[in-house]
Amino acid sequence: MKLSIVFKAFTALMIAMLVFGALPTSPARAATLCVGGGGCYPTIQAAIDAAAAGDTINVNAGTYNEDITINKSLTLSGAGSATTIIVGQIGGLSSATVRITASNVIIQGFTITRAGNNSVDWNNASLNSAGIAIQGTAITSVFIQSNLITGNRTGIDINHSSGHIIIGNDISDNHTGMIFRNTTNNLSVTSNKIMNNRTLGVLFLDASGGSNSPVQSAIGSWFRGNNISGNWYGQVADRQTGGALPAPNTTNTKDFQGNWWGAPAPTVAIQNSVEPPYASLLPVAYGGSAVPPSPPQPDILGLAAENILYSSSPCDYYSCPWITPLLITTIGSSPADGDILNAGISQLAVAFNKDALDDGSAQAANNVVNYMLYEYGGDSTSDTINCMSGIGGDDVNIAINSATYDPVTYTVTINVNGGIPLSAGRYRLLVCGTTSIEDNDNNELNWGAIDSAVNFTVLATPTPTASPTPTASPTPTASPTPAGSLTPGSSSLNAFALPATGFATGRTTMLSSPSIAYNALGDLWLEIPRLGVKMPIVGVPQTVNGNWDVSWLGNNAGWLQGTAFPTWSGNSAITGHVWGADNKAGPFLSINTLWYGDRISVHAWGQEYVYEVRSVLQVEPNATTSAFQHKDVPWLTLITCRSYDEASDAYRYRVLVQAVQVTIK
């Protein structure tokens, strides 16, 4: 298809500009730094300050409560957006969680959000205004990939800066998705989800006051293969009009051909979008009452809406082969990015988003040369840059023995290490995009720009002294554990989806009589001090199809039977409603605002078992691997829903708050 060929050529040019444009001429001298964990920098900013141009900074899983400024040409890589979270601070060093003030920067693998998304702080003038901010003509060739950018005033704000690549991000649930001001030429914005933002998905603003100085333009910019849908007051708006600016549909056009608008063709209105002021758009998820307008607003708006060049699409975001590159998905991949394994493995699985080439050729998914598995070296950092450059430093190469492709599930089974389970250590699997695997339409993995990385850890066999299992914990015979509870430390759980823990917002839901009976657990209750939550815990039996029906929980917390009993060693999953059938906020409405170190208590039999939060994740509804991950010591995983979608009458995401037991009172 001609459009695909042109698009690939354009993207390849942009990538070449990024990779070869201004990086140091001696890449072998570049260093790799790490953040989080023993021997690593404690904060991301500390690592940036210590780095030199051309260095790579690998950030381990965790929540990092800081604003950061990237003022050097470097690569900043998280361990995956599900596990590596940057939370911009109220009154922090910058008005952006991530501010980029240097060219030739790569940022990938993070959740980027801000503190203060609650009813108390919503109108605080010290809240961050952007997730990622880039400003100035001197800044070019920034590569933003595979991030979840959510909960910000603006997801990405680019002001008078050109030549950047934005690919494969989820830019959802912000006030505004993306803002482009002044001259923003030669951008490549591809394969992103720009959804459910409370005002607009993409907004072009005239920052010249009608003078056209600086020039308002997006010449040479391509917006391709994005899912721009579900944004409350329009998908794309162009307000660059009037005064000395070019007349619409002349020299200031924006190329939006080949995107998915939620329907084959977008609706267009030559008028500016009109949305309520920021203060009144506090959404339900953050303790407010704002919901999308009804009926939906037009898709393409603005007095300069004729600048938006679009095409109707006969297929949706997931089924147009020329729209999306080949990508790795979390569904079906094992281990998942960020997994911590309690035993070594000798077989991995990688799932693609669509059918990959499997003819054994150099670009085929069933060719072992397209995978690279290595263990971090003795310095506990990754020195390997990508598949193209090969194993670096003291990283240890692990043999890839075979790669078998299943064309039905689009999954590759990879056998490694001669069938011998991997020993304890930190590992990274690279699925090669830089060399590169292709789909059947010759679209390269990640457009050939970058490899997909799966990071995982194999733990050493724990010793009894390493387990802080409370000696005073009730024995099984003393606790009213219902049938179906796992023994301490067990993880033998067969589940297919995380429970739906919320009802429709904006209306009352009539419930039928309970179809199941919850188990009373006696003197067992949950407390979240920072949120003022105190609630009894009941047992929710697992149904024959592997699910849990929590419809009748009300203001109770529901322990998901089949997971470890609360206070015992293992991973105890407890769920609560985000929104009630009575059209009122549920007790778990704000658990997504918890931070690293916040405390959660389970009260049982006269004792208080205290846990500290270690991660807050937003995941897909079927992300059971993340929720029910095996633990050898007592952990809690709190589960609720997030982002109600009126069209599907379902919640798009689940929130997981994971906490480890630290003391018993």
Long-range contacts of 512-516 (CB under 8 A, 24+ apart): 514/551, 514/552, 515/549, 516/540, 516/541, 516/543, 516/549, 516/552
pLDDT of residue 114: 97
Give me the mean pLDDT over the 118-128 stretch: 95
Tokens 């002044």 correspond to 182
Is residue 61, in this structure, part of any structural domain at all?
Answer: no
Q: Examine the domain organization and report whether 659 and 511 are in the same domain.
A: yes
CATH of the domain at 396: 2.60.40.1220
Is residue 332, in this structure, part of any structural domain at all?
Answer: yes
Last residue of a domain, one of 407, 441, 458: 458
CA distances from 275 to 175, 176, 322 (A): 11, 11, 34
Q: Examine the domain organization and report whether 451 and 469 are in the same domain.
A: no
Report the number of distinct structural domains present in the chain: 2
Helix (H, G, I), strand (E, B) or coil at 307: helix
Helix (H, G, I), strand (E, B) or coil at 453: strand
Tens-digit pLDDT profile for residues 383-434: 888 888 889 888 899 999 999 999 988 899 999 999 999 998 889 999 987 7
| Across 26-30, 173-177, 393-397, 506-510, least confident range | 26-30
Q: Among residues 274, 299, 277, 302, which one has the least CA distance to residue 290?
A: 277
- Whether the predicted pLDDT of 118 surpasses 90: yes
Q: Examine the domain organization and report whether 401 and 522 are in the same domain.
A: no
pLDDT of residue 322: 44
Helix (H, G, I), strand (E, B) or coil at 566: coil
Kind and range of the H or E run holding 558: strand 557-560
| Across 159-173, 492-506, 603-617, 646-660, least confident range | 492-506
Is residue 624, in this structure, part of any structural domain at all?
Answer: yes
| Across 161-170, 289-298, 541-550, 617-626, least confident range | 617-626
Q: Examine the domain organization and report whether 585 and 481 are in the same domain.
A: yes
- Rounded-to-integer distance, Cα 245 and Cα 33, Å: 46
pLDDT of residue 174: 97
Q: Which two tokens stand for residue 615?
A: 């991660």
- Whether the predicted pLDDT of 472 surpasses 60: no
Q: Examine the domain organization and report whether 537 and 605 are in the same domain.
A: yes
pLDDT of residue 532: 86
Is residue 394, in this structure, part of any structural domain at all?
Answer: yes
Q: Examine the domain organization and report whether 428 and 484 are in the same domain.
A: no
pLDDT of residue 112: 97
Is residue 607, in this structure, part of any structural domain at all?
Answer: yes
Last residue of a domain, one of 458, 474, 498: 458
Q: Examine the domain organization and report whether 339 and 362 are in the same domain.
A: yes
Is residue 95, in this structure, part of any structural domain at all?
Answer: no
Buried b (16+ CB within 10 A) or exposed e, 564-578: bbbbbbbbbbbbbbb
pLDDT of residue 16: 43
Give me the mean pLDDT over the 643-650 stretch: 83
Q: Are 617 and 656 in contact (CB under 8 A)?
A: yes
Beta strands in 210-304 (DSSP E): 222-224, 227-229, 236-238, 254-256, 300-301
Q: Examine the domain organization and report whether 516 and 624 are in the same domain.
A: yes
Tens-digit pLDDT profile for residues 480-497: 444 444 333 333 466 778
626 pLDDT tier (thresholds 50, 70, 90): confident
Tens-digit pLDDT profile for residues 9-65: 444 444 444 443 433 333 334 678 899 987 889 999 999 999 999 888 999 999 999
Give this prediction's pTM: 0.55
- Rounded-to-integer distance, Cα 210 and Cα 19, Å: 36
Give me the mean pLDDT over the 349-366 stretch: 90
Determine the structural domain holding residue 532 and report its residue range: 464-664
Last residue of a domain, one of 403, 427, 458: 458
Q: Are 190 and 447 in contact (CB under 8 A)?
A: yes
Q: Examine the domain organization and report whether 498 and 549 are in the same domain.
A: yes
- Whether the predicted pLDDT of 556 surpasses 90: yes
Is residue 249, in this structure, part of any structural domain at all?
Answer: no
Q: Examine the domain organization and report whether 593 and 453 are in the same domain.
A: no
**DSSP symbols for 69-98:** EE-SS-EEEES-TTTEEEEEPTT-SSSEEE
pLDDT of residue 332: 61
Q: Are 631 and 570 in contact (CB under 8 A)?
A: yes
User: At CA 464, angle to CA 624 and CA 343, rounded to 5?
Assistant: 40
Q: Examine the domain organization and report whether 516 and 604 are in the same domain.
A: yes
- What HEC string does 339-408 produce? EEECCCCCEEEEEECCCECCCCCCCCCCCHHHEEEEECCCCCCCCCCCCCCCCCCCCEEECEEEEEEECC
pLDDT of residue 467: 34
pLDDT of residue 471: 36
516 pLDDT tier (thresholds 50, 70, 90): confident
pLDDT of residue 453: 84
Q: List % helix, strand, coil for the chain (3-state, nearest 5).
A: 10, 35, 55
- Rounded-to-integer distance, Cα 83 and Cα 60, Å: 8
Is residue 145, in this structure, part of any structural domain at all?
Answer: no
Q: Examine the domain organization and report whether 600 and 521 are in the same domain.
A: yes
- Rounded-to-integer distance, Cα 64 and Cα 46, Å: 12
- Whether the predicted pLDDT of 153 surpasses 90: yes
CATH of the domain at 549: 2.40.260.10
